[in-house]
């Protein structure tokens, strides 16, 4: 049997084979694996009170865009542009996803759909 060659890109996708390169074993240390994992991973940012209010506000349905814009100004004393900047940041926050996964998933889908539309 012949060893598989690295894919060149000249072959059809069905004929290309990828063989992963073996990794060297990681050195053994005296540290506990849990401590090493927590030291490397950044702490998840917790949601502030305002972040939670923004998520609750966004969960409501609005019949007219103008009514929502006015409610943003009245409730948060922010311009609608700043509100949507904060909301966009929240969509990438793991703590927000943990708090309301359905809402965050829906808003992420809307964001990606709008981004695709702008790229056309």
> Residues of the chain whose pLDDT is less than 50?
13-14, 36-39
- pTM of the predicted protein model: 0.60
pLDDT at 38: 47
Phi/psi for 88 (5° steps) reads -60, -40
Contact in structure between 114 and 91 (CB atoms under 8 Å): no
pLDDT tens digits, one per residue of 12-43: 544 555 555 566 666 666 655 555 444 455 55
C-alpha 47/C-alpha 44 separation (Å) is 9
pLDDT at 76: 95
């Amino acid at each position: 049997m012949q060893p598989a060659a690295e894919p060149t890109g000249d072959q059809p996708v069905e004929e290309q084979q990828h063989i992963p390169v073996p990794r060297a074993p990681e050195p053994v240390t005296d540290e506990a694996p849990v401590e090493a994992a927590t030291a490397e991973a950044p702490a998840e940012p917790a949601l502030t009170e305002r972040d939670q209010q923004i998520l609750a506000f966004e969960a409501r349905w609005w019949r007219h865009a103008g009514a929502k814009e006015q409610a943003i100004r009245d409730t948060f004393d922010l311009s609608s542009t700043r509100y949507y900047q904060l909301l966009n940041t929240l969509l990438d926050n793991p703590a927000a996803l943990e708090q309301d996964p359905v809402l965050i998933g829906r808003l992420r889908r809307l964001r990606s759909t709008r981004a695709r539309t702008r790229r056309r």
